Amino acid sequence: MESTRIIAVRHGETAWNRDTRIQGHLDIELNSRGRAQAAHLARALADSESIDTIYSSDLARAKATAQAVADATGAPLTLTPDLRERCFGDFQGLTFTQISETLPEEAQKWRKRDPDWAPPNGGESLRALQLRLAETVNLLAARHVGQQIALFTHGGVLDMLYRLATGLGLQDARTWQLGNAAVNRLLWTPSGLTLVGWGDETHLEGASLDETTT
Protein backbone atom coordinates (compact mmCIF):
# COMPACT_ATOMS: atom_id res chain seq x y z
CA MET A 1 0.00 0.00 0.00
CA GLU A 2 1.19 3.54 -0.74
CA SER A 3 2.46 5.23 2.41
CA THR A 4 4.42 8.22 3.66
CA ARG A 5 6.29 8.32 6.95
CA ILE A 6 5.81 11.52 8.92
CA ILE A 7 7.87 13.05 11.72
CA ALA A 8 5.70 15.71 13.38
CA VAL A 9 7.34 18.18 15.74
CA ARG A 10 6.08 20.99 17.92
CA HIS A 11 8.27 24.09 17.86
CA GLY A 12 10.79 24.76 20.62
CA GLU A 13 9.84 26.67 23.73
CA THR A 14 8.87 30.34 23.76
CA ALA A 15 8.56 32.72 26.69
CA TRP A 16 4.80 32.64 26.18
CA ASN A 17 4.78 28.85 26.59
CA ARG A 18 6.30 29.35 30.01
CA ASP A 19 3.73 32.00 30.86
CA THR A 20 0.81 29.82 29.61
CA ARG A 21 -0.05 32.71 27.29
CA ILE A 22 -2.08 31.88 24.18
CA GLN A 23 -0.04 32.44 21.03
CA GLY A 24 -2.34 31.29 18.25
CA HIS A 25 -1.42 33.17 15.08
CA LEU A 26 0.71 35.74 16.91
CA ASP A 27 4.31 35.53 15.77
CA ILE A 28 6.36 34.77 18.89
CA GLU A 29 10.07 33.90 18.68
CA LEU A 30 11.80 31.01 20.43
CA ASN A 31 13.46 31.78 23.74
CA SER A 32 17.00 30.60 24.48
CA ARG A 33 15.71 27.27 25.81
CA GLY A 34 13.71 26.81 22.62
CA ARG A 35 16.74 27.51 20.46
CA ALA A 36 18.73 24.96 22.45
CA GLN A 37 15.94 22.41 22.01
CA ALA A 38 15.96 23.02 18.26
CA ALA A 39 19.73 22.53 18.12
CA HIS A 40 19.61 19.23 20.02
CA LEU A 41 16.71 18.03 17.88
CA ALA A 42 18.58 18.95 14.69
CA ARG A 43 21.67 16.99 15.71
CA ALA A 44 19.60 13.94 16.68
CA LEU A 45 17.63 13.85 13.44
CA ALA A 46 20.73 14.46 11.32
CA ASP A 47 22.42 11.51 13.01
CA SER A 48 19.53 9.05 12.84
CA GLU A 49 17.01 9.94 10.14
CA SER A 50 16.71 10.29 6.40
CA ILE A 51 14.33 13.18 5.78
CA ASP A 52 13.34 13.87 2.20
CA THR A 53 11.64 17.21 2.76
CA ILE A 54 10.48 19.51 5.56
CA TYR A 55 7.26 21.50 5.78
CA SER A 56 6.75 24.11 8.47
CA SER A 57 4.25 26.61 9.73
CA ASP A 58 5.33 30.06 8.63
CA LEU A 59 5.20 31.41 12.20
CA ALA A 60 8.64 32.29 13.57
CA ARG A 61 8.73 29.75 16.42
CA ALA A 62 8.05 26.82 14.09
CA LYS A 63 10.14 28.21 11.25
CA ALA A 64 13.24 28.60 13.46
CA THR A 65 12.90 25.04 14.77
CA ALA A 66 12.47 23.67 11.25
CA GLN A 67 15.35 25.74 9.91
CA ALA A 68 17.74 24.23 12.44
CA VAL A 69 16.79 20.74 11.23
CA ALA A 70 16.96 21.76 7.57
CA ASP A 71 20.46 23.16 8.09
CA ALA A 72 21.61 19.97 9.85
CA THR A 73 20.04 17.45 7.48
CA GLY A 74 20.18 19.28 4.16
CA ALA A 75 16.50 18.61 3.57
CA PRO A 76 14.60 21.33 1.68
CA LEU A 77 12.27 23.49 3.76
CA THR A 78 8.90 24.81 2.60
CA LEU A 79 6.81 27.20 4.71
CA THR A 80 3.03 27.03 4.71
CA PRO A 81 0.37 28.88 6.73
CA ASP A 82 -1.73 25.71 6.56
CA LEU A 83 0.37 24.28 9.41
CA ARG A 84 -0.23 27.27 11.68
CA GLU A 85 -1.62 26.96 15.18
CA ARG A 86 -5.35 27.28 15.71
CA CYS A 87 -6.43 30.91 15.55
CA PHE A 88 -7.69 31.94 18.99
CA GLY A 89 -9.14 35.35 18.15
CA ASP A 90 -9.55 37.51 21.27
CA PHE A 91 -7.84 34.85 23.41
CA GLN A 92 -4.49 35.51 21.75
CA GLY A 93 -2.00 37.25 24.03
CA LEU A 94 -3.89 36.29 27.19
CA THR A 95 -3.03 33.73 29.86
CA PHE A 96 -5.46 30.99 30.87
CA THR A 97 -6.18 32.88 34.08
CA GLN A 98 -6.89 36.13 32.26
CA ILE A 99 -9.28 34.40 29.86
CA SER A 100 -11.23 32.89 32.76
CA GLU A 101 -11.44 36.26 34.50
CA THR A 102 -12.29 38.49 31.54
CA LEU A 103 -14.25 36.14 29.27
CA PRO A 104 -15.78 33.56 31.66
CA GLU A 105 -18.62 32.42 29.39
CA GLU A 106 -16.33 31.95 26.43
CA ALA A 107 -13.76 30.24 28.65
CA GLN A 108 -16.40 27.72 29.75
CA LYS A 109 -17.24 26.87 26.14
CA TRP A 110 -13.54 26.41 25.45
CA ARG A 111 -13.10 24.05 28.41
CA LYS A 112 -16.05 21.95 27.26
CA ARG A 113 -14.38 21.54 23.83
CA ASP A 114 -17.54 22.40 21.92
CA PRO A 115 -16.52 21.31 18.39
CA ASP A 116 -18.34 24.15 16.65
CA TRP A 117 -17.53 26.98 19.05
CA ALA A 118 -14.87 29.46 17.93
CA PRO A 119 -13.09 32.08 20.07
CA PRO A 120 -14.56 35.54 19.47
CA ASN A 121 -13.23 37.87 16.79
CA GLY A 122 -12.06 35.50 14.09
CA GLY A 123 -11.15 32.40 16.09
CA GLU A 124 -11.17 28.90 14.62
CA SER A 125 -13.41 26.09 15.83
CA LEU A 126 -12.06 22.62 16.58
CA ARG A 127 -14.06 21.23 13.68
CA ALA A 128 -12.60 23.81 11.29
CA LEU A 129 -9.10 23.06 12.59
CA GLN A 130 -9.62 19.34 12.08
CA LEU A 131 -10.78 19.88 8.50
CA ARG A 132 -7.83 22.16 7.76
CA LEU A 133 -5.30 19.71 9.12
CA ALA A 134 -6.80 16.64 7.49
CA GLU A 135 -6.75 18.35 4.10
CA THR A 136 -3.23 19.72 4.60
CA VAL A 137 -1.65 16.45 5.71
CA ASN A 138 -3.36 14.50 2.93
CA LEU A 139 -2.08 16.97 0.36
CA LEU A 140 1.49 17.07 1.64
CA ALA A 141 1.87 13.36 2.35
CA ALA A 142 0.45 12.35 -1.03
CA ARG A 143 3.31 14.23 -2.69
CA HIS A 144 5.92 12.03 -0.97
CA VAL A 145 4.73 8.44 -1.16
CA GLY A 146 7.57 6.09 -0.21
CA GLN A 147 9.47 8.88 1.53
CA GLN A 148 9.78 10.41 4.99
CA ILE A 149 8.76 14.01 5.59
CA ALA A 150 8.95 16.24 8.66
CA LEU A 151 6.21 18.65 9.72
CA PHE A 152 7.02 21.49 12.12
CA THR A 153 3.99 22.97 13.75
CA HIS A 154 2.18 23.76 17.02
CA GLY A 155 0.58 22.11 20.04
CA GLY A 156 -3.02 22.44 18.89
CA VAL A 157 -2.13 21.05 15.49
CA LEU A 158 -0.33 18.06 16.99
CA ASP A 159 -3.28 17.41 19.29
CA MET A 160 -5.49 17.25 16.21
CA LEU A 161 -3.09 14.96 14.33
CA TYR A 162 -3.13 12.58 17.30
CA ARG A 163 -6.92 12.53 17.24
CA LEU A 164 -7.02 11.95 13.49
CA ALA A 165 -4.54 9.06 13.79
CA THR A 166 -6.29 7.35 16.71
CA GLY A 167 -9.93 8.06 15.93
CA LEU A 168 -10.47 9.93 19.18
CA GLY A 169 -13.25 12.50 19.16
CA LEU A 170 -12.89 16.25 19.37
CA GLN A 171 -14.36 16.30 22.88
CA ASP A 172 -12.36 13.38 24.29
CA ALA A 173 -10.03 14.41 27.12
CA ARG A 174 -6.36 14.68 26.20
CA THR A 175 -4.14 12.08 27.85
CA TRP A 176 -1.06 12.55 25.65
CA GLN A 177 1.81 14.99 25.89
CA LEU A 178 2.58 17.80 23.45
CA GLY A 179 6.17 18.55 24.42
CA ASN A 180 8.24 21.28 22.81
CA ALA A 181 10.66 19.76 20.26
CA ALA A 182 9.45 16.21 20.94
CA VAL A 183 9.45 13.75 18.04
CA ASN A 184 6.10 12.24 17.05
CA ARG A 185 5.74 9.62 14.32
CA LEU A 186 2.80 8.96 12.03
CA LEU A 187 2.17 6.88 8.93
CA TRP A 188 -0.02 8.22 6.15
CA THR A 189 -1.84 6.11 3.59
CA PRO A 190 -4.72 7.15 1.31
CA SER A 191 -7.08 5.78 3.98
CA GLY A 192 -5.73 8.15 6.66
CA LEU A 193 -3.19 8.48 9.46
CA THR A 194 -1.86 5.83 11.85
CA LEU A 195 0.03 6.52 15.06
CA VAL A 196 3.52 5.00 15.13
CA GLY A 197 5.18 6.70 18.11
CA TRP A 198 4.58 9.73 20.29
CA GLY A 199 6.38 12.16 22.56
CA ASP A 200 9.99 11.02 22.12
CA GLU A 201 12.19 13.45 24.05
CA THR A 202 15.30 11.28 24.45
CA HIS A 203 17.31 13.73 22.30
CA LEU A 204 16.70 16.39 24.97
CA GLU A 205 17.74 14.30 27.98
CA GLY A 206 20.80 15.53 29.82
CA ALA A 207 20.97 18.72 27.81
CA SER A 208 21.45 22.07 29.47
CA LEU A 209 18.26 23.82 28.46
CA ASP A 210 17.89 26.69 30.88
CA GLU A 211 17.35 30.28 29.83
CA THR A 212 21.09 31.01 29.69
CA THR A 213 21.78 28.31 27.09
CA THR A 214 23.22 29.70 23.87
- Cα–Cα distance between 48 and 50 in angstroms, integer? 7
Q: How many C-beta atoms surround the C-beta of residue 20 within 10 A?
A: 11
Q: Are 185 and 7 in contact (CB under 8 A)?
A: yes
Q: In what order do the strands lie in the sheet with 77-80?
A: 77-80, 53-57, 148-153, 4-10, 183-189, 192-200
Q: Which run of H or of E encompasses 189?
A: strand 183-189
- Cα–Cα distance between 22 and 24 in angstroms, integer? 6
Calculate ∠ Cα 36-39-45, nearest 5°: 140
Q: How many C-beta atoms surround the C-beta of residue 108 within 10 A?
A: 12
- Catalytic positions, please? 11, 85
Scored b (16 or more CB within 10 A) or e, 116-125 reads ebbbeeebbb
